[in-house]
Structure 1
């Protein structure tokens, strides 16, 4: 069974234009950490991500108060113990002033239904098995990076290898969702200038040379997405650049043609 509760504390987003991002509540809040006994959860690994998403929305609305292309955040809860604390999850969101549009509570068996029912365009979790399930059902999914990412700028990293190797792997179920997400993200990025943008898109190609990186760049541009930075590692390990750039997540699911 899936139960969805609207957050009456925030203005609901335009369902036809908003980019719906679902994040597991267990990643946003740390159930094992309280906050001074005031009945709210402590901050989890994905807390800066929600702050960064909110920052993008705030800047978009500053530029245009009638802007409808905004991030619409849904918190997904499947843990039975956390479901019993649903009021605490909602109170924690209110306490921190997070711009969450909906709270969705479901069993682990019905969690995919909760993503589809809420028209989720990007699903983020610290649980690799959950993101794999999402991908298999055609929902663009990514594992959240556990290293600390900045709350003032949303940093999205794209895997160039997933774009250029499409001839050697089967077409993923989430390909259509990935291309739609790329187009919307690109449109959102164009709302800002080159400097002081609250949204940064980075391309990293681990294998191959400059030609592979060029193919990935051209493919993304054909979908309406231009990147802020591109790195061709030519076989070098990816971990140093990840530590330096500190993206909120690395997206490789569904990016191939």
Structure 2
């Protein structure tokens, strides 16, 4: 059973044009409210939500009628946190997070919640949840590191999946990745080369410069240009991740 509650504290986004991002409550807030004020501590996804808000703010500064905005859905599947719904909404209000909807769902029905809310990107600290969502065609990524507050939303794309040869019909998860990439590219084009609140980085782990070039051309054909590109040519990815510290890493429909 699922239920969705609109947050009346924030202006609702245009459902037809918004980019809907669902984040699990356990990623945004630490488990258990503090005894003193009933507020939850900040979780691993907290800087991400702040960065999404900065992108929205800048988009609206450029064009007050802009409808291509991030629409954040906070999804709660943890039974203990569901019993703390009032403290979750209070914490969201306290920290000034622009969450458009609160979705409460059982672990068995959370995929249904994602589909009902037209989620285009699902972010969780639970790899199994992300994998389940990806298998149902919802683009997903795992949040597994604390990212320091930044003026930019930093998105890293794994280019290796982009250059894989087509072996048949494009799976739903890959279609979702391509669609999201195009929307992300449209957002990025709203800003200039300098002082952008959104930075997109491409990394290819294997294949050398040629594979990186193919991935760049493929992404551009989908309407997405990147700010930086790195060809690791077989080198481990962890060192560059520790330097760039993206808010999340996306593969082409594949959980990384």
Shorter chain as normaliser: what TM range? over 0.9
RMSD, aligned CA: 1.5
In 1: Cα distance, 2:164 partner to 2:98 partner: 37
Aligned positions, number? 254
Kept in 1, the 8 Å contact 2:138–2:173? The answer is yes
Q: Structure 1 runs of 4+ off > 6 angstroms?
A: none
Q: Secondary structure at the match of 1:135?
A: helix
Aligned residue in 2 for 1:216: 215
Aligned residue in 1 for 2:184: 185
| Gap change, CA 1:168 and 1:243, over 3 Å in 2 | farther
Counterpart check, 1:5 vs 2:2: no
Aligned residue in 2 for 1:23: 23
**TM-score, reference length from structure 2:** 0.96
Q: Secondary structure at the match of 1:39?
A: coil
Q: How does 1:35-50 map to 2 (within 5 A)?
A: 37-50=36-49
- Which stretches in structure 1 are left out of the alignment for 5+ residues? none
1:176 positional shift? 1.4
Aligned residue in 1 for 2:231: 232
| Gap change, CA 1:33 and 1:244, over 3 Å in 2 | farther
Q: How does 1:188-199 map to 2 (within 5 A)?
A: 188-199=187-198
1:145 positional shift? 3.4
Deviations 1:121-171 (A, max 9, x none): 000001000000011000000111313243421100000111112446984
Kept in 1, the 8 Å contact 2:55–2:198? The answer is yes
Aligned residue in 1 for 2:153: 154
In 1: Cα distance, 2:80 partner to 2:98 partner: 24
Deviations 1:80-127 (A, max 9, x none): 000000111101000000010000000000000000000000000010
